[in-house]
Structure 1
Amino acid sequence: MKRFLLYAALVTGAFVSVFPYLLVVLTAFKTQGQLNSTDPWLPGLPPTLANITRLLGGDFPRYLGNTVLMTAVLTIGQLVFTTFAAYAFARLRFRGRDALFWLYVATMMVPSAVTMIPLFLIMRELDVINTWYGLLAPYILGTPYGIFLMRQFFRALPGGLEEAARIDGAGPMTILVRILLPLCRPALGTLAIITVISSWNSFLWPLIITSGDDTKVMTVALAGLKVGIGVDYNLMMAGGLIALVPMIAIFVFFQRYIVRSVVLTGLK
């Protein structure tokens, strides 16, 4: 009976979690008439690709490309700068290292909405509003979570590897690039997946800092579909489906890295 109740609770939780995504898929393949004549949880027969074709025939592919570019640049920047910062906090010795690290990590307790206005004012003074520089600058140099994740992994590596390398005449950069980084592939993969997901779904900062089509990303474009008189739910759900497919693929193929991030930060 206990096992039965456990699986019943798991199935119920899974259904509640998956049901909104099911509605997105069903609505994306319905016509306007089918949307009004059928229940939301029932498919429209026959299904139609008109919503996706209409969406892809406009400016949406451009916004999708902007999102891909932003995600790629932020991911590369996070991997590079986060690795250097984490290595310094984990392996290099300098005055105030631990205090500086924990002060930086403490910024994770500050909601991102609190820092949006100060960031916007800084970008305005730098005259980078509605530019790629303003869109990428606040997050390309690393995040507290990423640095904490990589630092925990660096600290778990045996110190004897570095000592042997120093005896052979290797410097800090050589030790990092040729010895430690090859051992950090699991953590780097985890950080990359998390950064891709967070960058792909980023909405508030792109909404504030950008206003033109040259820098508009997919999430902002989807939100713009509901302005004006009436809402085309079929078109919005088609855009949501396009945005959802890459994230589902990433989760299916790389879910072990996402789970590993919890293990690395919780147990190390």
Structure 2
Amino acid sequence: MFSVMTALKAPEQFTTTVPLSLPDPVTAGNFTTLFTDTYDFVVPIAVTAQMVLVLVAGQLVSSVLAAYAFGTLRFPGREVIFWTYLATLMIPAVVTMIPLYSMLTAAGLRNTFAGLVVPFLLGSPYAIFLLRENFRSTPAELLDAATIDGAGVLRRLWYVMLPMNRPILATLLLITVVTQWNSFIWPSIIAPAPEWNVITVATASLQSQYAGNWTLVMAATTIALAPLVVLFLVFQRQITRSIGIGLR
């Protein structure tokens, strides 16, 4: 609410009134300014949207396949591989930044779209663990019945597992979108060029050490928050259902 109120104020009013005062008059000038040639905020929005779409698709597909294999299929070393992979959650993300940057820069991926998405394209340990535990709670009788009907491994996943776990998939989708949409550190390191700025980096660049365009910053923040609010409202029922399933 504070960001919306500030975004609708003129810069002069923001500097001369208390922060929580209502906009008077209400102006959309900060939003229109962001889309002028000076700031060209269309580019960060487009880059962020493309990055999120690619990462969400890659992470969900790979996480579902890996969790299904770890949760229902039997193969040598399954538990060792799973718990070893899960142990990587204990490695702070900051530790991997320099090696990742060095490798991708050496590969010529600095200031490229590939540099933004390649390190995070596959499933995360958290997502695989979350899905695996839900897949394992699926009654074995349903999978056995599908097998008797002639369903193979992938058909059991598509027609049994995924429909029965829609709430947790919706929750994971929301978590992944929010995480990637708000990503800041990695994009600011690997793609500092203006043409590859994501929305968080572009918003931060509206400020400087000695001057902060706070009405513009709040307008950019409002634009960045709007898709996440809409996404939460769309998936609110599924998220509530997933919480209920977890409590049971």
The aligned counterpart of 1:122 is 103
Match of 1:3 in 2: none
% same residue = 45
Number of residue pairs matched by the alignment: 246
Residue aligning to 2:233: 252
Are the counterparts in 2 of residues 27 and 237 from structure 1 also a CA contact under 8 Å? Answer: yes
Partner of 2:214: 233
Question: What is residue 41 of structure 1 aligned with on the other side?
Answer: 20
Q: For 1:157 and 1:107, how far apart are their aligned partners in 2?
A: 26
**C-alpha spacing 1:177/1:251, structure 2 compared with 1 (3 Å):** closer
Question: How far apart, CA to CA, are the structure 2 residues paired with 1:63 and 1:181?
Answer: 33
Residue equivalent to 1:133: 114
In structure 2, the partner of 1:161 is 142
SS at match of 1:214: helix
TM alignment of 1:25-36, pairs within 5 A = 25-36=4-15
Q: Does 1:202 align with 2:202?
A: no
| Equivalent in 32, 38, 61 of residue 53 of structure 1 | 32
Q: What SS does the aligned partner of 1:44 have?
A: coil
Does structure 2 conserve the Cα–Cα contact (< 8 Å) formed by 1:149 and 1:261?
Answer: no
State the SS of the aligned residue for 2:197.
coil
Deviations 1:15-54 (A, max 9, x none): xxxxxxx321121111121012110011131111111110
Change beyond 3 A, Cα 1:47–1:132: same
Does the 8 Å contact 2:47/2:197 carry over to 1?
A: yes
Contact map agreement 2:168 2:239 (CA 8 A) in 1: no
Alignment root-mean-square deviation, CA? 1.9
- The residue type paired with residue 14 of structure 2 is L
Contact (CA 8 Å) 1:194, 1:258: kept in 2 or not? no
Q: In 1, are the aligned partners of 2:68 and 2:157 still within 8 Å (CA)?
A: yes
Between the aligned partners of 2:20 and 2:167, the Cα distance in structure 1 is 39
Matched residue type, 2:186: W
**Aligned partners of 1:263 and 1:212: how far apart in 2?**
45
- Aligned residues of 1:193 and 1:257 also touching (Cα < 8 A): no
- Partners of 2:244 and 2:101 in 1: CA distance: 35
Change (3 A) 1:127 1:259: farther
Q: Report the CA distance between 1:128 and its aligned residue.
A: 1.4
Partner of 1:7: none
Q: Is the 8 A contact 2:166 2:238 kept in 1?
A: no
Distance 1:213 1:142 in 2: 28
Q: Residue 148 of structure 1: which of 126, 129, 133 is its match?
A: 129
Asked whether 1:24 is paired with 2:3, we answer yes
Aligned mates of 1:176, 1:254 — CA distance in 2: 22
Contact 2:167 2:242 in 1 (8 A): no
Post-superposition CA distance 1:162-207 (Å, at most 9, x none): 2223333332122212332222222221111111111111111111
Deviations 1:111-150 (A, max 9, x none): 2222111211221232212111111111111111111111
Match of 1:108 in 2: 89
Task: Pick closer, same or farther for the CA change 1:260–1:116 going to 2, 3 Å.
Answer: farther
Query: 1:259 Cα deviation (Å)?
Result: 4.9
Once residues 145 and 67 of structure 1 are traced to their aligned partners in structure 2, the CA distance between those partners, rounded to angstroms, is 23
Q: In 1, Cα distance between the equivalents of 2:89 and 2:243?
A: 16
The TM-score, its normalising length taken from structure 2, stands at 0.91
Contact 2:191 2:197 in 1 (8 A): yes
Q: Which amino acid aligns with 1:86?
A: A
Partners of 2:127 and 2:66 in 1: how far apart? 10
CA contact (8 A) 1:38 1:44 kept: no
Q: TM-score scaled by structure 1?
A: 0.85
Residue 262 of structure 1: CA displacement?
5.4
- C-alpha displacement at 1:251, in angstroms? 2.3
TM superposition shift of 1:258:
4.0
